[in-house]
Amino acid sequence: MSFASLSFIIFLVCTFALYWLVKKREWQNPILLAASYLFYGWVTPSLAVMLGASTMLDFFLARGIQASPVRTRLFMALSLTLNLGVLAGFKYYNFFNDELANFVTSLGMNGDFFLTRVLLPAGLSFYTLKKLGYMIDVSRGMLKPTHALVDFALYVSFFPQIIAGPIERPQKLLPQIEAQRAWKADFFYGAWPLILMGFFKKIVIADNIKIISDQIFSLDEPSIFLLIMGALAFTLQILADFSGYTDMSRGFAMLFGFQTSENFNLPYTSLTPTDFWNRWHITLSNWLRDYIFFPIGRALKRSRLNLPPWQVLSIPPIATMFISGLWHGAGWNFVMWGVYYGVLISVYQLVGIRGDWKPKSPWAHGLAWFVMFTFIVIGWAMFRAPSLAWLGNILFNEPFLHSQSDLIVGLIAFSMVIAYSIPLWIKLGLDKYAKDGWLTSAYYAFATVLIIVFLNATFPDFIYNQF
């Protein structure tokens, strides 16, 4: 079920009414759990069955760790194998299936079976990380496993978050699930601006800018200039799309009395790659930092390999971002995108520029921002490119401009980026200088009008559903 659908609105109203009518937590949680499974299994019920089975297994494995700490490694190995196996199976099967089919055919057998495409269940990447975080924390003794299956299942499947996060940590969400919740008008007053902005970013900005970025990235051999403009358009599109989704997710969670994490903090104002990842998809960055980056760093420091300091400094970010790339998609461009950020983080650190670096001079600040923003756009070009070969062909074989038409189309793309980013700039200014004032109310009213106007159009899915 998509947030941007009538069926979701009906679903939300019914769940909301029932949830607050029953008042008691003992009933609220099962209602929310049932609603979450209904939401998740709406199109393909078997996905909800898969989610339920894997949730139960992790629940009992975590209980097993608590009951029998000596078997922690065994239970963790089981959980890792199950979670990563399912994720890898769904995510990377399509990556290798053509080769598999060819191989089987070369053995004289019918390889057609392997050509069937496997559709990645929506949200699998997100809820797998949630469960793994829980299991790792339990195994490290940092978290007491919950004894209530309903609470754990709700933590994993909480419908505002299941499709595209935020990847909430159990330490934050589980205590809220376990606590009593009584209706407060503040829930609504906190939620509506988030939900409204989420729809605005998705329907008015992302879906419109998507048109030009999709067209440019669909071309077989665009010029370098068009590629740059397409990448700029995608830079805006992915921010509006994903942060819009997160806003909605946080708003819906708030309607049910839950405070969930922010995922974006002005990522395109970053001055360094580390700063960028502290501001972009924050819950994923934190997950990767705590469960991949720190353990690798600690292992390297403890190891007897006697690696030179630059390697000790470089390996953790490169390995972490490589895994981040793999998590984002099955394709060499995602891997390359991850490694690219790993290398950028390492280089910045090696030359002494840390994540919290802030130059004093405004010129240096502006230059640092421009350099980092350029790196971000290059990164999105890799991410959005149909393939690395496509990107390489453009960079090495295509001219800067094919014709004057390229220039005109590039300028159209640029003017779209400017036009559709203006509302975000205005919102930024309002948040800083006129929060909760008349101007902010007027902004929301205009945003609502634009949503209604742009609603009467097609609804592409959220980009992050694919991951």
Q: Which is nearer to another protein, 400 or 446 (CB)?
A: 446
According to the binding rule CB under 8 A, does residue 115 interact with another protein?
yes
CA distance 29 to 23: 10
Q: Which one of residues 13, 109, 299, 452 is an interface residue with another protein (CB under 8 A)?
A: 452
DSSP 120: P
Q: Which of 147, 328, 365, 402 is catalytic?
A: 328
Residue 236 CB neighbours (<10 A):
23
User: Nearest Cα to 251, choosing from 306, 202, 304?
Assistant: 202
CA distance 161 to 246: 8
328 is catalytic: yes
Instruction: Please state the closest distance from residue 386 (CB atom) to another protein, in A.
Output: 5
Omega of the bond prior to 166 within 30 degrees of 0, cis? yes
Q: Which amino acid is at 224?
A: I
Q: Which is nearer to another protein, 72 or 215 (CB)?
A: 215
Q: Which one of residues 24, 43, 106, 309 is an interface residue with another protein (CB under 8 A)?
A: 43
According to the binding rule CB under 8 A, does residue 194 interact with another protein?
no
According to the binding rule CB under 8 A, does residue 404 interact with another protein?
yes
Q: Which one of residues 171, 180, 218, 265 is an interface residue with another protein (CB under 8 A)?
A: 218
Residues 6+ apart with CB under 8 A from 25: 178, 179, 180, 181
According to the binding rule CB under 8 A, does residue 99 interact with another protein?
no
Site for another protein in 173-192 (CB under 8 A): 185, 189, 192
Angle at CA of residue 326, ends 321 and 328, nearest 5°: 95
- Answer yes or no: are the C-beta atoms of 220 and 387 closer than 8 Å: no
User: Nearest Cα to 91, choosing from 114, 120, 116, 113?
Assistant: 120
According to the binding rule CB under 8 A, does residue 193 interact with another protein?
yes
CA distance 361 to 304: 43
- CA distances to 41, 196, 207, 427 from 5, rounded to whole Å, are 15, 14, 15, 25
CA distance 67 to 347: 45
Q: Which is nearer to another protein, 41 or 379 (CB)?
A: 41
Q: Which one of residues 58, 168, 241, 406 is an interface residue with another protein (CB under 8 A)?
A: 406
Binding mask 312-341 for another protein (x = CB under 8 A): ------------------------------
- Answer yes or no: are the C-beta atoms of 164 and 202 closer than 8 Å: no
CA distance 100 to 113: 10
Instruction: Please state the closest distance from residue 39 (CB atom) to another protein, in A.
Output: 16
Q: Which one of residues 96, 103, 310, 446 is an interface residue with another protein (CB under 8 A)?
A: 446
Encode 127-138: b = buried (16+ Cβ within 10 Å), e = exposed.
bbbbbbbbbbbb
Distance separating the N- and C-terminal Cα atoms of the chain: 16
CA distance 96 to 94: 5
Q: Which one of residues 228, 409, 430, 463 is an interface residue with another protein (CB under 8 A)?
A: 409
Question: How many residues at the interface with another protein, by CB under 8 A?
Answer: 53
- Answer yes or no: are the C-beta atoms of 51 and 156 closer than 8 Å: yes
Q: Which is nearer to another protein, 279 or 328 (CB)?
A: 328
Q: Which one of residues 99, 405, 428, 433 is an interface residue with another protein (CB under 8 A)?
A: 405
Binding mask 375-394 for another protein (x = CB under 8 A): -----------xx--x----
Instruction: Please state the closest distance from residue 447 (CB atom) to another protein, in A.
Output: 10
Site for another protein in 414-443 (CB under 8 A): 414-416, 419, 436, 438, 440-442
Token pair of 458, please? Answer: 């097609």
| Maximal CA-CA distance, the chain | 73
Instruction: Please state the closest distance from residue 462 (CB atom) to another protein, in A.
Output: 14
Q: Which is nearer to another protein, 24 or 435 (CB)?
A: 435
Q: What is the DSSP string of 234-257?
A: HHHHHHHHHHHHHHHHHHHHHHTT
Q: Which is nearer to another protein, 72 or 208 (CB)?
A: 208
Consecutive H or E run containing 440: helix 438-455
Site for another protein in 117-156 (CB under 8 A): 117
Q: Which is nearer to another protein, 428 or 453 (CB)?
A: 453
Q: Which one of residues 17, 118, 367, 412 is an interface residue with another protein (CB under 8 A)?
A: 412
Angle at CA of residue 238, ends 235 and 239, nearest 5°: 85
Instruction: Please state the closest distance from residue 187 (CB atom) to another protein, in A.
Output: 12
Q: Which is nearer to another protein, 155 or 200 (CB)?
A: 200
Q: Which is nearer to another protein, 6 or 305 (CB)?
A: 6
Instruction: Please state the closest distance from residue 309 (CB atom) to another protein, in A.
Output: 42
Which residues are known to be catalytic?
328
Q: Which residues bind another protein (CB under 8 A)?
A: 6, 43, 110, 112-113, 115-117, 185, 189, 192-193, 208, 215, 217-222, 226, 386-387, 390, 403-406, 408-409, 411-412, 414-416, 419, 436, 438, 440-442, 444-446, 448-449, 452-458
